[in-house]
Structure 1
Amino acid sequence: MYFQRYDLPVVLRYLNALGLLALEVVLVYAFYDQFYKHDLPCPLCLLQRVGFVACMIALLLNVSYGPKPWHYGLLLLSAVFGAAVALRQVSLHVIPGTPPYGEDVFGMHFYTWAFVSFVSIILLTSMLLLIPGQYMGSNGPGFIPYTLQPFWVKTVITIGLMIILTNAGSSLIECGFWVCDDNPERYKLLVPGR
């Protein structure tokens, strides 16, 4: 078997770190669209970001503590939540005469890409769950502190934590302590209501 030549828990930690990096790219692009193109995310968009952040947290747990069934369970539940929210938004905009929300990227809108991403996460996580022997025994250390992680993994973890905090701050500034606007045009905490 291919994995017998390598330390399976280490390989899986690195696969999870690569997944975390992929989600970081998705959210960094969302921030680019929000801050550079001034396209504020709608409430459903913010909920999709919550789904991505929850997926990131599950991947961070796998990177730090090694693969565990409950980490994968959290990842699957987060992806199902995100897919449901994204599908809800897709269904709102397929009605004839209903304009789409935001710009499209490579022919599809963000919420469609989000749905594709969440379904991909579900499929990839399901395939990871099929790898035999990843939970049996202790082939490697359980918890690996941040300081002992390889440099590239430390970088991915740091960026991931910064993105999670930036998402929380951005949502607070956009919505304040109130309900988010259906079609936001301003940051509620920065620009008072009219």
Structure 2
Amino acid sequence: MIHHLLGLRRWTDCLNALALLGISGVLWFAFAWQIVLYELPCPLCLLQRVGFAMAGIGLMLNVCFGSRPAHYGIAILSALAGMVSSARQVLLHIAPGDPGFGSPFLGLHFYTWALVAFFVLGLFLGGLLLLDPMKVKEAADVSRTPGWLGKLAVYSFLAILLVTLLSTLLECGFGPCPDDPTEYLWLPGK
């Protein structure tokens, strides 16, 4: 029985690391889009990035310290908050003839993709929470050193958090971000 639970634990550890890599990938793609197309994120876009970052923190805690209901709670509540901010932006641009904010990717704007991603992330996290044998004492006492996949996920996530923070500071400074940003506040204009 314990060997079965430890095997399941390894799978859920791997899935937590893959989900963290997925969140990192979303944030890296949004940042690359911002740099390559010079499309600065609006305040609601930044809130969606915060939602992904907070969900990633919950997953990172699982990867580094072992699965706990509180870690899943952080990730699920963050996904819900991200859904709210992305749904708000979808509703702002749902009127006929509204061009939306930013360039679309594969026919949909990033905030629409974010809404779908937060929904899928919430379902995934709920399923992981049901599968994870975290309440079994013997399984919880196993050493929690992340493997190479976990380390890759954590380092990628921490790197994009730092890059996003610096980018946001360049765009907004220490004050509120403009509603329709066209240039970085702390960089010379284009």
TM over 0.5: yes
Q: 1:155 aligns with which of 147, 152, 170?
A: 152
Q: Is the 8 A contact 1:175 1:188 kept in 2?
A: yes
Alignment of 1:129-144 (within 5 A): 129-131=129-131, 133-141=133-141, 144=144
Match of 1:176 among 163, 169, 173: 173
More deviation, 159-168/92-101:
92-101
- Per the alignment, residue 76 of structure 2 pairs with 76
Q: Deviation digits for residues 162-193 of structure 1, max 9, x if unmatched? A: 1111111111110011211111011101137x
1:141 deviates by 4.1
CA distance in structure 2 between the aligned counterparts of 1:133 and 1:6, rounded to whole angstroms = 8
Cα drift, residue 153 of structure 1: 2.2
Q: Deviations over 1:62-116 (max 9, x none)?
A: 0011111011110111000000000000000001232211111111110000000
Q: Tell me, which stretches of 5 or more residues in structure 2 are unaligned? A: none
SS at match of 2:138: coil
Asked if the contact 1:47/1:82 (under 8 Å) is kept, the reply is yes
TM-score (norm 1): 0.90
| Cα separation, 2, equivalents of 1:26 and 1:173 | 21
CA contact (8 A) 2:63 2:146 kept: no
In 1: Cα distance, 2:27 partner to 2:106 partner: 17
Separation in structure 2 between the aligned mates of residue 142 and residue 171 of structure 1, nearest angstrom: 39
| Residues 1:132 and 1:121: Cα distance change in structure 2 (over 3 Å) | closer
Displacement of 1:37 after TM fit?
1.1
Contact kept, 8 Å, 1:174 with 1:186, in 2: the verdict is: yes
Question: Contact 1:7/1:140 (CA < 8 Å) preserved in 2?
Answer: no
User: Following the alignment from structure 2 to structure 1, what is the Cα–Cα distance between the partners of residues 157 and 31?
Assistant: 13
For residues 132 and 15 of structure 1, the distance between their equivalents in structure 2, rounded to whole angstroms, comes to: 10
Gap change, CA 1:45 and 1:90, over 3 Å in 2: same
Within 5 Å, give how 1:1-194 maps onto structure 2: 4=4, 7-131=7-131, 133-141=133-141, 144=144, 148-191=145-188
Q: What RMSD in Å do the two structures reach over aligned CA positions?
A: 1.9
User: Separation in 2 of the partners of 1:50 and 1:143?
Assistant: 31
Give the share of equivalent positions with the same residue, in percent.
41
Call closer, same or farther: CA 1:4–1:142 in 2, change over 3 Å. closer
Task: Please give the alpha-carbon distance, in whole angstroms, between the structure 2 residues aligned to 1:23 and 1:143.
Answer: 25
Q: Could you tell me how far apart the structure 1 residues matched to 2:93 and 2:60 are? A: 33
Structure 1 portions without partners, runs of 5+: none
Alpha carbons of structure 1 residues 185 and 128: separation in structure 2 relative to 1, 3 Å: same
Q: 8 Å contact 1:79–1:121 — kept in the other structure?
A: yes
Whether the aligned pair in 2 keeps the contact of 1:66 and 1:142 (CA below 8 Å) is no
Per-residue Cα deviation, 1:34-75 (whole angstroms, up to 9, x for no partner): 111111111100000000000110010000111110111101
